[in-house]
Amino acid sequence: MTCAIYCRLSKEDEERVQESESIQNQKNILIGYAVENGWDIYKIYCDEDYSGVDRGRPEWGAMLEAARTGKFQIVLCKTQSRFTRDLEMVEKYLHGLFPLWGIRFVAVLDNVDTDIKGNKKARQINGLINEWYLEDLSENIRAVLDQKRRAGKYIGSFPAYGYRKDPKDHNHLIKDEDSADIVRQIFSLYLNGLGTQRIAGYLNENNIPNPSKYKRSKGLHYMNGNASTRHQDCWSSTTVARILKNEVYIGNMIQGTKRKASYKTKKLLDVPKEKWVRVENTHEAIIDRETFDAVQRRIGQRVRSDGSGKVHLLARKVRCMDCGSVMHRLTHTYKGLPKSYLQCRLYAATRKNPECSGHTIRLDALTETIEERIRTYTSEYYAISGVRRFRMEPDCHEGVKRVKREIASLTHQEARLREAVKNLYLDKVDGLITQEQFVDMNSAMLRDQQAAANRIASLEARMEEADQSQTDDTALEGRIAEMLKLKTIDRALVDLLIDSIEVGEKDRETGRQQVKINWKI
Q: At what angle do helices 435-468 and 398-429 cross, to 10 degrees?
A: 160
356 or 397: which leads in pLDDT:
356
Q: Does residue 476 carry a pLDDT above 60? A: no
- Note the pLDDT of residue 19: 45
CA 147 to chain centre: 25
pLDDT value of residue 142? 67
User: Which CATH code of 1.10.3470, 3.30.420, 3.90.1750, 1.10.390 fits the domain covering 163-300?
Assistant: 3.90.1750
Question: pTM of the predicted model, to two decimals?
Answer: 0.43
Distance separating alpha carbons of residues 118 and 455, to the nearest angstrom? 70
CA 377, CA 444: separation in Å to the nearest integer? 55
Other Cβ atoms less than 10 A from the Cβ of 348: the count is: 15
Q: How far apart are CA 413 and CA 440, in angstroms?
A: 20
Separation CA 205–CA 228 (nearest Å): 20
Provide the H-helix boundaries in 285-389: 289-300, 345-349, 363-381
User: Residue 378 — very low, low, confident or very high, per pLDDT cuts 50/70/90?
Assistant: confident
pLDDT of residue 391: 43
Distance, CA of 402 to CA of 479 (rounded, Å): 26
First to last CA, the chain: 88
The reported pLDDT for the residue numbered 465 is 67
Does the pLDDT value for residue 175 go beyond 80? yes
What average pLDDT does the segment 210-233 reach? 67
Question: What is the model's pLDDT at position 66?
Answer: 94
Task: Mention every residue, 6+ apart, whose C-beta is less than 8 A from residue 472.
Answer: none
Quote the CA–CA distance of 164 and 211 in Å, as a whole number. 12
Q: Could you tell me the CA-to-CA distances from 321 to 162, 256, 257, 325, 359 in Å, in that order? A: 44, 45, 42, 8, 8
Query: 103 φ, ψ to 5°?
Result: -105, 130
- What pLDDT score was predicted for residue 184? 92
Residue 272 vs residue 380, higher pLDDT: 272
Most confident of 15-29, 236-250, 435-449: 236-250
Q: Name the pairing type of β-strands 74-77 and 40-48.
A: unpaired
pLDDT at 136: 62
What average pLDDT does the structure give for the chain?
A: 79
Position with higher pLDDT, 494 vs 128: 494
pLDDT confidence of 393, banded at 50, 70, 90?
very low
215: pLDDT confidence band, cut at 50, 70 and 90?
A: confident
Q: So what's the pLDDT on residue 387?
A: 47
Which residue would you say has higher pLDDT here, 311 or 333?
Answer: 333
Dist CA 126 CA 487 (whole Å): 79
Query: Is the Cα torsion angle 180, 160, 256, 152 positive or negative in sign?
Result: negative
Integer angstrom CA distances of residue 391 from 461, 484, 485: 21, 19, 22
Distance CA(370)–CA(342), nearest Å, equals 14
CA-wise closest residue to 41 among 63, 25, 60: 63
Res 469: pLDDT: 55
Q: How many CA atoms lie within 13 A of 266 on its CB side?
A: 7
According to the model, what pLDDT value does residue 121 have? 65
Strand intervals (E) in 49-179: 74-77, 104-107, 112-113, 163-166, 169-175
The per-residue pLDDT for range 65-98, each reduced to its tens digit, is 999 999 999 999 988 888 888 878 888 898 889 9
Is it the case that residue 122 has pLDDT exceeding 60?
yes
Radius of gyration of the chain (CA): 33
Rounded Cα–Cα distance for residues 498 and 424 (Å)? 60
- Judged against a pLDDT cut of 90, whether residue 56 lies above it is answered with no
- What is the residue extent of each domain of the chain? 2-147, 163-300, 318-382+486-519, 396-474
In angstroms, the Cα distances linking 463 to 394, 400, 444, 451 are 9, 7, 29, 18
DSSP state of 206: T
Return the ∠ at Cα 430 (arms to 428 and 436), rounded to 5°: 25
Q: Is the pLDDT of residue 379 over 80?
A: no
Q: Are 20 and 49 in contact (CB under 8 A)?
A: no
pLDDT at 137 over 70: no
Give the integer Cα–Cα distance in Å for 442 and 426. 12
> What is d(CA 59, CA 46) in angstroms, rounded to the nearest whole number?
6
Average pLDDT over residues 370-376: 86
Instruction: Let me know the angle formed at the C-alpha of 444 by 440 and 445, rounded to the nearest 5 degrees.
Output: 115
Q: What are phi and psi of 295, to 5 degrees?
A: -65, -40
Say which residue, 356 or 398, is predicted with more confidence.
356
Question: What was the pLDDT predicted at 300?
Answer: 73
pLDDT in tens, 334-367: 667 778 889 998 888 787 788 899 899 998 889 8
Q: What is the mean pLDDT of residues 52-62?
A: 86
Distance CA 100, CA 354 (A): 74
Which range, of 223-227, 266-270, 413-417, averages the lowest pLDDT? 223-227
* Domain at 2-147: CATH code: 3.40.50.1390
Least confident of 105-119, 133-147, 311-325: 133-147
Task: For residues 451-474, give the mean pLDDT.
Answer: 70
pLDDT (0 to 100) of residue 43: 93
